[in-house]
């Protein structure tokens, strides 16, 4: 295990990817001494299939544009290339087959981790990967701590908490700013901003998912 590379997995709709995502990924990379962070834009998220989401291709391109300048980041099309809903357990199994020399660390937020028991085969995930739960410094969440302790006891889960200052940026806010003609400069990578403007994303329908 010690000879394996350490990859963080950062999954998300990334509609669009923003500086908050990049800051979390960079923080986890340094804190855990990861070799890379792999961004995985979702194809058809099972929990958002009734929502209006920008095309997989647009979201994949924006994610690639956002991480291109950082050699420690990479993007995978493992989910956007599929037409059926993407489940984390299926993606993880596929990644483990493709990259047998890699140990994976799944980076997630507190809210997502607290709802993990609603995920497909979540108990199997605990056997296959380490979870990295991002939380704010000075933020005490008794529910989170209790849940981590429960998973450690019941599933021998590997869970690491990483403290990352919140940048208070959301994809929802960025889309609303575009709709209202406000600037998104410094909220997203400049190449992502150019792509959004060039392709007039988010201007024609404001019924988007988070």
- pLDDT tens for each residue of 23-34: 999 999 999 999
pLDDT the model gives residue 49: 54
Helix (H, G, I), strand (E, B) or coil at 110: helix
- pLDDT tens across 115-126, in order? 999 999 999 999
Tell me which of 3.40.50.620, 3.30.1330.10, 3.40.190.10, 3.40.50.300 is the CATH number of domain 5-166. 3.40.50.620
Report pTM: 0.92
User: According to the model, what pLDDT value does residue 143 have?
Assistant: 92
Q: Residues 127-144: pLDDT tens digits?
A: 999 999 999 877 778 999
Q: Are 160 and 32 in contact (CB under 8 A)?
A: yes
With 0-12 / 13-18 / 19 or more C-beta atoms within 10 angstroms meaning exposed / middle / buried, residue 180 is: exposed
Task: Quick: pLDDT tens for 168-208.
Answer: 999 999 999 999 999 999 999 999 999 999 999 999 754 44
pLDDT digits (tens, 9 = 90+) for 92-119: 999 999 999 999 999 999 999 999 999 9
Indicate whether 2 pLDDT > 70. Answer: no
End-to-end CA distance of the chain: 37
Q: How many residues does the chain have?
A: 210
Q: Which residue matches tokens 């834009």?
A: 41
pLDDT digits (tens, 9 = 90+) for 23-81: 999 999 999 999 999 999 998 766 555 467 899 999 999 999 999 999 999 999 999 99
């Amino acid at each position: 295990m010690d000879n394996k590379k350490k990859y963080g997995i950062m999954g998300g709709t990334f509609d669009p990817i923003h500086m908050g995502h990049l800051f979390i990924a960079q923080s986890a990379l340094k804190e855990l001494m990861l070799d890379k962070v792999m961004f995985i834009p979702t194809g058809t998220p099972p929990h958002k299939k009734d929502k209006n989401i920008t095309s997989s291709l647009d979201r994949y391109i924006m994610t690639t544009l956002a991480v291109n300048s950082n050699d420690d980041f990479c993007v995978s099309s493992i989910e956007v290339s599929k037409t059926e809903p993407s489940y984390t357990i299926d993606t993880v199994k596929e990644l483990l087959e493709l990259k047998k020399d890699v140990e994976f660390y799944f980076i997630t937020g507190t809210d997502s981790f607290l709802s993990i028991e609603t995920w497909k085969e979540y108990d199997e995930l605990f056997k296959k990967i380490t979870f990295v739960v991002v939380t704010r410094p000075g933020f005490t969440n008794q529910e989170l701590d209790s849940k981590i302790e429960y998973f450690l006891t019941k599933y021998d889960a590997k869970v690491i908490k990483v403290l990352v200052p919140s940048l208070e940026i959301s994809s929802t806010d960025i889309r609303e700013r575009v709709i209202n003609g406000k600037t998104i400069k410094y909220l997203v990578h400049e190449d992502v901003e150019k792509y959004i403007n060039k392709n007039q994303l988010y201007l024609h329908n404001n019924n988007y998912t988070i």
